[in-house]
């Protein structure tokens, strides 16, 4: 998981910007998002539908705004067609889920459930992320070091450090529970302050030697330790390690050629071209649009601290510049 800086693209979407429907009173035209929020408040606050943490209505409320096709395109672009939580690319292999960070209809609390959930945020842009099914849906996963499958996945979970802080009504300020959140949000938090990846692809809820409760809960809820995901991260880290080893070999070769004088001019020129190509390959692997960037950043940071890059640093190459590359526009 890496930090994501939201753009303002969603503000121009018709569902948020264009008044096309009448409000409940029929007095003025409002946006589809505003109208749906009104209807959701009316439905979920009706004691005939929900009362005392129980759903009494036979029908469910039909949230539609978050399913808007143009909205889905913007979300996909914001997250570079990757899962907001595990950084797996989904575009070519599976349908993505439009994920409600705060669940809309109910909130799972272990064996119990609060009903309704954050109904007034059903179409709220800041509450919407994009995720893969394995992070978003409750499933049984194989986890390294465990003898049997474990049920993981977000589902309707949204744990807090203090349940008395939970906001249960649209009339309350949602920000009052923000510092009690136990799930990382890549658009709000700095995941690197809570998650560290080792060289085997495993993720740990620790940063600079300090354990993170938010990191631990997020790893479990988002299924970030599932076996296939760990192996995929390891493959990417190994590929990056291979490219860096190639770079180091080319730099040592350049140093040798340089020591032989002007007779090696053409060989040195070819060598520098190879160095540039490998550097471009490393850069491509570290762009926010690439998969498992957080794991690769962790490996680079640790390897650098061990002094593994001293040779290329003396050559003038600083791999740490790849730790904070900006996202490139995607279609």
What is the DSSP code string of 265-323? HHHHHHHHHHHHHHHHHHHHHHSTTSTTHHHHHHHHHHHHHTTTTHHHHHTT--GGGGG
Tell me: the pLDDT tens digits for 242-270? Answer: 999 999 999 999 888 888 877 788 888 89
Q: How does residue 236 score in pLDDT terms, banded at 50, 70 and 90?
A: very high
Average pLDDT, whole number, for the chain?
89
CA separation for the pair 221, 153 (Å, rounded): 5
Q: CA angle at residue 24 from 18 to 25, to 5 degrees?
A: 110
pLDDT, residue 90, reads 82
Kindly tell me the burial class for residue 305, based on how many C-beta atoms sit within 10 Å of its own C-beta (0-12, 13-18, 19 or more).
Answer: exposed
Predicted local confidence at residue 83, as pLDDT: 94
pLDDT at 166 over 70: yes
Whole-angstrom distance, CA of residue 14 vs CA of residue 31: 8
CB 189 within 8 A of CB 183: no
CA atoms within 13 A on the CB side of 310: 4
Residue 98: partners with Cβ closer than 8 Å, 6 or more residues away: 66, 67, 71, 72, 75, 128, 129, 130
Single out the residue of 79, 305, 296, 307 nearest to residue 192, CA to CA: 296
Residue 331 is predicted with a pLDDT of 46
DSSP character at residue 209: T
Complete DSSP assignment for 123-185? T-GGGEEEE-HHHHS-EEE--TT-SS-EEE--TTB--BS-GGG---STTS-GGGGGGGB-S--
Mean pLDDT over 153-168 rounds to: 92
Question: Is pLDDT above 80 for 152?
Answer: no
Residues 79, 289: Cα–Cα separation, whole Å: 8
CA 280 to chain centre: 25
**Local confidence band at 208 (pLDDT 50, 70, 90 cut-offs):** confident
Give the confidence band of 203 by pLDDT, cuts at 50, 70, 90. Answer: very high
Average pLDDT rounded to a whole number, residues 153-181: 93
**Residues 119-145 pLDDT 10s:** 999 999 999 999 998 898 877 777 776
Work out the end-to-end distance of the chain between its first and last CA atoms, rounded to an integer number of angstroms: 22
Give me the pLDDT at residue 325, please.
61
Q: What is the pLDDT of residue 137?
A: 84
- Which among 281, 268, 263 is positioned nearest to 315, based on CA atoms? 268
Rounded average pLDDT over 189-202:
94
Give the DSSP H/E element, type plus range, for residue 239.
Answer: helix 227-259
What confidence category does residue 316 fall into, taking pLDDT thresholds of 50, 70 and 90? confident
- Percentage with pLDDT > 70 across the chain: 94
Q: Is the model's pLDDT at 328 over the cut of 60?
A: no
For the segment 174-197, the average pLDDT, to the nearest whole number, is: 94
pLDDT of residue 145: 65
pLDDT category of residue 157 using cuts at 50, 70 and 90: very high
d(CA 223, CA 152): 5
Mean pLDDT of 274-278: 93
């Amino acid at each position: 998981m890496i930090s994501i800086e939201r753009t303002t693209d969603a503000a121009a979407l018709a569902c948020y910007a264009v008044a096309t429907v009448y409000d409940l009173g029929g007095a003025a035209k409002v946006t589809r998002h505003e109208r749906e929020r009104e209807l959701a408040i009316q439905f979920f606050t009706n004691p005939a539908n929900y009362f005392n943490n129980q759903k009494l209505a036979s029908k469910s409320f039909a949230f539609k705004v978050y399913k808007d096709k143009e909205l889905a395109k913007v979300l996909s672009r914001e997250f570079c067609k990757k899962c907001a939580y595990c950084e797996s690319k989904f575009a070519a292999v599976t349908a993505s889920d439009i994920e409600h960070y705060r669940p809309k209809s109910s909130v799972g609390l272990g064996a119990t459930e609060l009903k309704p959930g954050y109904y007034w945020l059903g179409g709220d842009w800041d509450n919407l992320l994009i995720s893969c099914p394995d992070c978003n849906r409750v499933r049984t996963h194989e986890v390294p070091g465990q003898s049997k499958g474990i049920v993981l996945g977000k589902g309707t979970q949204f744990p807090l450090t203090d349940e008395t802080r939970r906001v249960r009504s649209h009339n309350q300020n949602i920000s009052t529970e923000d510092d009690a959140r136990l799930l990382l949000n890549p658009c709000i938090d700095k995941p690197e302050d809570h998650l560290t990846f080792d060289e085997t692809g495993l993720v740990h809820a620790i940063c600079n030697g300090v354990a993170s409760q938010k990191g631990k809960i997020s790893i479990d809820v988002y299924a970030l330790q599932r076996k296939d995901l760990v192996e995929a991260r390891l493959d990417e880290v190994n590929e990056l390690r291979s490219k860096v080893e190639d770079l180091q070999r080319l730099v040592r070769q350049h140093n040798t050629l340089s020591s032989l004088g002007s007779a090696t001019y053409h060989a040195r020129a070819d060598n520098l071209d190879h160095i540039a190509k490998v550097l471009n390959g490393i850069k491509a692997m570290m762009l926010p649009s690439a998969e498992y960037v957080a794991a690769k950043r962790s490996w680079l940071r640790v390897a650098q601290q061990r002094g593994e890059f001293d040779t290329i640093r003396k050559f003038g190459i600083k791999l740490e510049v790849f730790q904070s590359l900006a996202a490139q526009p995607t279609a």
